[in-house]
């Protein structure tokens, strides 16, 4: 089937993405080795065909893919980052088409990874490679870094960055993996929240007990529920001593980025009835305040029918989003102390930290033409502004985001680079949730923006 309304170039993007997103590359799932490999082969095949040399570099669990097309050591370098791993697709029964059978319905492509992040880097790479075909003498060295562990907290990235620091250092670094306020705007992300994820285990007995013994017997599920309930006040504030100590208020510039974003759009796009209690406006709380979320609870009997037990064990997965200047280590200790204080003498708890990443801030001075940096980020920023205005018909917005890319601070600290992060995900795209999607119209518009930016950027001259 042809999709005439999006044009031949975008159609090639969509066709490739349908194949690429059909390989299940869930980095957290040990049974997805084959899908991880197929995804790497798929994107490596594309890059090789476009003249890139591609190598795989071992990381903690899944190798990352490093591709390059170099012309001369004197030429400036452009680095593109993306991740080929995806989040688990469960709960499967809520998908309207299978998560790894990317399907187009009413102008929208559905499938795990079609937005986050296979979709985003497919758009970027196709725009880049089309432009290279047109202009094979492009005066830039090009590098592409595709990670396979972003969705599990980038455990292999720090070592990789340290080892490849010099080879990676580039005049311009582009990373498309963040959000925007609505479908009509493209954003440039100026900050990301940090992250701390952990597992909380509660044990109250050596084995489950017959609930006929109940009355005096401790119940792990009950204790877990009470511990979790003790982590927030009725006003929505996190009830952990010291949690807000290091929270920095946003600058006037950052605050201004919330101007004319609609809370009603946010509510509708997320498909919620009403916001839960929070401090400040919903948009403020989402970007500038830290959170603590229960990601999942389990324990006891959840199967069909009756099983009258008192569970001996229960578990919760918890994640905190952190803002400047909170530190994941300090928050972990505060949380540990709070949970120990809440824990009754009839239970034992165990806390194991999982992913962590510091909050990240982009140095806004890099965008100013008179800035001290070599000037490429400022130039690319202007190109992005112009192309966005032309193609979206709206101004490029600067905004901090509520999500996290845990490797960002390591990139900044180890390589000194700060990526330009054009963002176009919205709550409608259902990242990490069932029915993840990306409208073809969004793919077409974002593709045209990057196509135009690369065409201009690769013109010889200043
Ligand atoms: N693409 C997201 C991050 C994102 C999404 C930033 C939307 C801004 C707006 C990224 O792939 C992601 O989901 N990261 C995880 C990291 C975690 C699993 C270690 C996150 O933020 O939960
Ligand atoms: Mn992502």
Query: pLDDT digit of tens for each residue in the chain (462 aa)?
Result: 456 578 999 999 999 999 999 999 999 999 999 999 999 999 999 999 999 999 999 999 999 999 999 999 999 999 999 999 999 999 999 999 999 999 999 999 999 999 999 999 999 999 999 999 999 999 999 999 999 999 999 999 999 999 999 999 999 999 999 999 889 999 999 999 999 999 999 999 999 999 999 999 999 999 999 999 999 999 999 999 999 999 999 888 888 888 878 899 889 989 999 999 999 999 999 999 999 999 999 999 999 999 999 999 999 999 999 999 999 999 999 999 999 999 999 999 999 999 999 999 999 888 887 655 558 999 999 999 999 999 999 999 998 999 999 899 899 999 999 999 999 999 999 999 999 999 999 999 999 999 999 999 998 765
406 lines ligand 1 (CB under 6 A): yes
DSSP H stretches of helix in 343-375: none
Report CA-CA distances (Å) from 275 to 136, 163, 282, 330, 460. 51, 45, 8, 29, 51
Q: How far apart are CA 281 and CA 290, in angstroms?
A: 14
Q: Which long-range contacts (CB under 8 A, 24 or more apart) does 402-405 make?
A: 402/179, 402/193, 402/286, 402/287, 402/321, 403/178, 403/179, 403/192, 403/193, 403/431, 404/192, 404/193, 404/194, 404/195, 404/321, 404/357, 405/150, 405/175, 405/177, 405/178, 405/192, 405/357, 405/360
Give the ligand 1 atom nearest the CA of 355. 19
254 lines ligand 1 (CB under 6 A): no
Give the ligand 1 atom nearest the CA of 405. 14
Residue 81: strand, helix, or coil: strand
- Tokens at residue 18, please? 């349908």
Question: Of the candidates 403, 459, 332, 376, which has an alpha carbon nearest to the alpha carbon of residue 150?
Answer: 403
410 C-beta neighbours (distance < 10 Å), count? 19
39 lines ligand 1 (CB under 6 A): no
DSSP state of 88: -
Q: How far apart are CA 297 and CA 421, in angstroms?
A: 34
Ligand nearest to the CA of 113: 2
């Amino acid at each position: 089937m042809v999709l005439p309304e999006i044009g031949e170039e975008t159609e090639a993007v969509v066709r490739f993405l349908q194949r690429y997103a059909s390989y299940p590359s869930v980095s957290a799932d040990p049974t997805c080795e084959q899908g991880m490999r197929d995804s790497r082969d798929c994107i490596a095949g594309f890059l090789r065909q476009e003249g890139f040399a591609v190598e795989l570099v071992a990381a903690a669990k899944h190798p990352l893919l490093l591709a390059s097309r170099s012309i001369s050591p004197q030429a400036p370098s452009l680095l593109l980052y993306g991740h080929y791993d995806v989040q688990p697709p469960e709960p499967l029964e809520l998908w309207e088409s299978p998560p790894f059978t990317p399907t187009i319905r009413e102008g929208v492509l559905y499938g795990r990874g079609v937005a986050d992040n296979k979709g985003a880097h497919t758009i970027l790479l196709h725009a880049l490679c089309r432009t290279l075909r047109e202009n094979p003498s492009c005066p830039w060295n090009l590098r592409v870094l595709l990670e396979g562990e972003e969705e599990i907290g980038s455990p292999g990235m720090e070592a990789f960055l340290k080892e490849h620091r010099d080879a990676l250092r580039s005049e311009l670094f582009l990373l498309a993996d963040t959000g925007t306020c609505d479908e009509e705007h493209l954003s440039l992300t100026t900050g990301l929240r940090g992250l701390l994820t952990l597992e909380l285990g509660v044990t109250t007995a050596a084995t489950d007990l017959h609930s006929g013994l109940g009355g005096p017997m401790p119940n792990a599920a009950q204790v877990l529920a009470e511990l979790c309930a003790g982590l927030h006040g009725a006003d929505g504030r996190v009830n952990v001593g010291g949690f807000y100590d290091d929270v920095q208020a946003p600058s006037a510039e950052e605050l201004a980025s919330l101007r004319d974003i609609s809370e009603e759009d946010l509510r509708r796009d997320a498909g919620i009835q009403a916001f839960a209690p929070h401090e400040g406006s919903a948009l403020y709380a989402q970007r500038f305040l830290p959170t603590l979320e229960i990601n999942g609870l389990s324990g006891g009997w959840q199967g069909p029918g009756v099983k009258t037990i008192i569970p001996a064990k229960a578990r919760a997965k918890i994640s905190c989003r952190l803002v400047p200047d909170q530190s994941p280590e300090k928050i972990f200790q505060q949380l540990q102390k709070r949970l120990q204080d809440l824990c009754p003498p009839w239970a034992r708890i165990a806390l194991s930290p999982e992913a962590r990443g510091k909050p990240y801030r982009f140095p806004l001075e890099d965008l100013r033409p008179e800035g001290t940096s070599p000037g490429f980020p400022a130039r690319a920023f202007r190109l992005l502004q112009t192309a966005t205005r032309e193609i979206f018909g709206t101004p490029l917005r600067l905004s901090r985001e509520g999500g996290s890319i845990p490797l960002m601070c390591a990139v900044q600290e180890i390589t000194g680079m700060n990526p330009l992060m054009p963002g176009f995900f919205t709550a409608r795209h259902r990242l990490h949730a069932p029915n993840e999607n990306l409208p073809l119209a969004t793919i077409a518009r974002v593709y045209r923006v990057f196509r135009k930016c690369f065409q201009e950027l690769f013109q010889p001259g200043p």
